[in-house]
Amino acid sequence: MDIVLLIIGIILIILMLLILSALRQMSRNTANTDIAPQLEALKKDTETSGRQLREEVSVSINNSVKAMGDMLVSAQKNSGDAVEKQLGILENRFRTLESNNEIKLEAIRSSMTKHLTGIQEENSKKLEAIQATVNEKLENKMNESFRLVSERLEQVYKGLGEMQNIASGVGDLKKVLSNVKNRGILGEIQLGAILGEILAPEQYDRDTATIPGSSNRVEFAVKLPGNGDGCVYLPIDSKFPGDTFEALQNAYESGSTEAIAAAKKTLQTALKKCAKDIHDKYIEPPYTTNFGIMFLPFEGLYAEVVNSGMIEILQRDFNVNVCGPSTMAAMLNSLQMGFQTLAIQKKSSQVWEILGAVKSEFLKFSKALEDTQKNIKKAEDDLEKLVGVRTRQINRKLSSVEAMNIPLCNESEE
């Protein structure tokens, strides 16, 4: 209500100011008129009224402001009391909550302490058991490892002894291989072992002359089927240019390009010489095949020949094929398959001969069976004649006997 009065007073003051402003304007416009005294009197009355109105409005405003202040103080006091009361209630609640939380936390702390203590004790027991198990396993593994190490060391000692024996054997082998004749014997023994393992003894000859009337004898010659009952020889000779190959290996170890090239050239010259020797001494068609085989007893030497491209050169220039231990076995296996195919062909011709003889015998049997069938048919006709005609004759005779009516019983009574 006080606020409304305050607003009304402010509005009246504004209206009075507007009226005074209008009167001043009118007084300026009518200063020379006859109503100046009246306006002056009206002005005074208006000022007096405005003054009184202002005083009343000022008093009303002061009273309203004072009343509003009192209201605000009272409201503030009431609000402070309510807030203080709420704060007291909240403080009590917080204290209660704090005490409850302390109690719960203490219970949780004690429970966790007991639980952690139990877990710690259980973990301690498990760790002790694990430690005991680990110690036992480690001890067993250590014992086993020591045993294995001892066995391995013993095997190493034995291996060292065997290596020493092998080293001495290698030295002896090196001495053997230093002799050209011994190298040839070694290659011949290895070649003979391969031939004996794959082919039958009657399929190849040892130390034979492949050319009639020649005194040159090849180490081995495989018998291949020729025209008629004769055979064609496939000469196989073992070669081992050990000195040149050893020189090439030494050149490889040295790493010198010039030494390697020179050693390769020397080895190629030695291989060409061996191939020419086989071609000139053991190859003579039609007694032999138009090619021979040079056997190299070591795979390393054969690999070097293959890598250097000497296989094609020796085949083209000397009609000599080069084989190592593995390729020799493969070639002999293919020859064995050829022998089996040839044997099958020979056996098939024998089978055809037997089938021809069976055919002729079957014709004779067919003719004899036909004659027998005719004789059986004739006997059947005779039997039919005998059974039919003679039976009818006997029946007629018997019928005549029955027609005689002889009283045999009366005669006996008389």
Q: Which residue has the higher pLDDT, 149 or 341?
A: 149
What torsion, rounded to 10 degrees, do the Cα atoms 274, 277, 281, 284 define?
A: 80
Two tokens at 97? 């909550």
Q: What is the pLDDT of residues 197-220, one digit of tens each?
A: 888 888 888 888 888 888 888 888
C-alpha pair distances (Å), 12 with each of 18, 26, 34, 54, 63 = 10, 21, 30, 9, 17
Distance (Å, whole) CA 414 – CA 410? 6
Two tokens at 76? 């503030």
Distance (Å, whole) CA 151 – CA 157? 10
Report the pLDDT value the prediction gives residue 412, as an integer from 0 to 100. Answer: 41
* CA-based end-to-end distance of the chain: 195
Q: Which residue has the higher pLDDT, 109 or 405?
A: 109
Report the pLDDT value the prediction gives residue 254, as an integer from 0 to 100. Answer: 84
Report the pLDDT value the prediction gives residue 166, as an integer from 0 to 100. Answer: 67
Least confidently predicted of 70-79, 171-180, 384-393: 171-180
pLDDT band, residue 70 (cuts 50/70/90): confident
Say if residue 19's pLDDT is above 60.
yes
Distance (Å, whole) CA 49 – CA 34? 24
Report the pLDDT value the prediction gives residue 26, as an integer from 0 to 100. Answer: 62
Q: Which residue has the higher pLDDT, 179 or 393?
A: 393
Question: Can you give the length of the chain in residues?
Answer: 414
Residue type at position 323: C
Say if residue 411's pLDDT is above 60.
no
Report the pLDDT value the prediction gives residue 413, as an integer from 0 to 100. Answer: 40
Report the pLDDT value the prediction gives residue 410, as an integer from 0 to 100. Answer: 43
Say if residue 175's pLDDT is above 60.
no
List the chain domain ranges: 2-106, 185-347
Q: Which residue has the higher pLDDT, 358 or 407?
A: 358
Say if residue 97's pLDDT is above 60.
yes
Distance (Å, whole) CA 2 – CA 9? 11
Nearest to 269 by CA among 291, 249, 243, 250: 243
Q: Which residue has the higher pLDDT, 119 or 162?
A: 119
Report the pLDDT value the prediction gives residue 308, as an integer from 0 to 100. Answer: 85
Around Cβ 170, how many Cβ atoms within 10 Å?
12
Least confidently predicted of 124-138, 153-167, 245-259: 153-167
**Which pTM value belongs to this model?**
0.42
